[in-house]
């Protein structure tokens, strides 16, 4: 819902609001293979650079370091290390679950970069940078990155 306010020192009013823009685009051949692996096998796929051996999760088509074309998908671990995290307390339409949401960057074992996803399973105060975590998959998976419910601390 748009709200109005008067600009400071001017007799001018403005509307403030947010625009909801639904959209659809293809995941592509590579993205489809990654999402079906999550859905059907609960496997997290990365992609290896044939030139410099970096492994990216999620997969990308071009190496950010050496610009090689990438097409060598490989499974990485569902376990990893929390590189950083934050807690979002305010809800908005972009969040996949109700607030508060704990977003983390997790470096999965076998990957060379961080993977942005949600952390959960315990209270936010219990997470720490450097903590070991493991993916928790939904029982009913749809071929979405959200087939991973969150990453929980390894016990
Ligand atoms: Zn490379």
Q: Give the residue extent of every domain in the chain.
A: 19-153
E runs forming strands in the chain? 3-6, 13-16, 44-48, 55-56, 72-76, 79-88, 101-108, 115-119, 132-137, 148-153
pTM score: 0.83
Give percent of the chain with pLDDT exceeding 90. 75
What is the rounded average pLDDT for all residues in the chain? 93
Q: How far is CA 123 from CA 47, 110, 135, 141, in A?
A: 32, 27, 16, 25
Ligand 1 midpoint to CA 67 (Å)? 6
pLDDT at 2: 66
pLDDT category of residue 1 using cuts at 50, 70 and 90? low
Give residue-wise pLDDT tens across range 78-102: 999 999 999 999 877 778 888 899 9
More confident residue, 15 or 55: 55
Ligand 1 midpoint to CA 59 (Å)? 13
Ligand 1 midpoint to CA 26 (Å)? 25
Sign of the torsion formed by the C-alpha atoms of 39, 140, 149 and 136: negative
Q: How far is CA 66 from CA 47, 54, 61, 104, in A?
A: 14, 10, 12, 27
**Residue 29: what are its φ and ψ, rounded to 5°?**
-65, -45
Residues that place a CB less than 5 A from ion ligand 1: 49, 51-52, 63, 65-66, 68
Give residue-wise pLDDT tens across range 32-43: 999 999 999 999
Ligand 1 midpoint to CA 134 (Å)? 27
């Amino acid at each position: 819902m748009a709200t109005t306010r008067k600009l400071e020192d001017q007799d001018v009013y403005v509307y403030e609001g947010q625009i909801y823009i639904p959209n659809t685009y293809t995941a592509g051949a590579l993205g489809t293979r990654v999402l079906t692996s999550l859905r059907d096998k609960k496997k997290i796929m990365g992609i290896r650079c044939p030139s410099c051996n970096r492994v990216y999760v999620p997969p990308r088509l071009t190496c950010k370091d050496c610009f090689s074309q990438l097409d060598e998908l490989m499974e990485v671990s569902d376990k990893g290390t929390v590189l950083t995290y934050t807690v979002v307390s305010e809800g908005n339409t972009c969040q996949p679950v109700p607030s508060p949401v704990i977003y983390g960057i997790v470096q999965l074992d076998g990957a060379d970069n961080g993977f942005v996803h949600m952390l959960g399973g315990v209270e936010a105060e219990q997470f720490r940078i450097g903590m070991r975590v493991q993916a928790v998959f939904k029982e009913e998976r749809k071929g979405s990155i959200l087939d991973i419910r969150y990453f929980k601390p390894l016990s």
